[in-house]
Amino acid sequence: MREADPPVQYLVGAPKGRLSRLERDLVGKPWREARPGVEVKLSPQDGEPYVFAQSLDRVAKERGMRRRRLKGLWARLKELHRMSVNLTRDELLIKLGQAKATWRRGWRLVDVEIDPKRAAFRYGLDRKKLK
**Residue 5: predicted pLDDT:** 73
The Cα 105–Cα 58 span in angstroms is 18
**Residue 105: predicted pLDDT:** 86
In the predicted model, what is the mean pLDDT of residues 105-122?
A: 87
Q: Is the pTM higher than 0.75?
A: no
Query: Is the predicted pLDDT of residue 66 greater than 90, yes or no?
Result: no
- pLDDT category of residue 79 using cuts at 50, 70 and 90: very high
Query: Is the predicted pLDDT of residue 48 greater than 80, yes or no?
Result: no
Of 15, 82, 17, 14, which is closest to residue 48 (Cα–Cα)? 14
**Residue 85: predicted pLDDT:** 85
Q: Give Dmax over CA atoms of the chain in angstroms.
A: 75
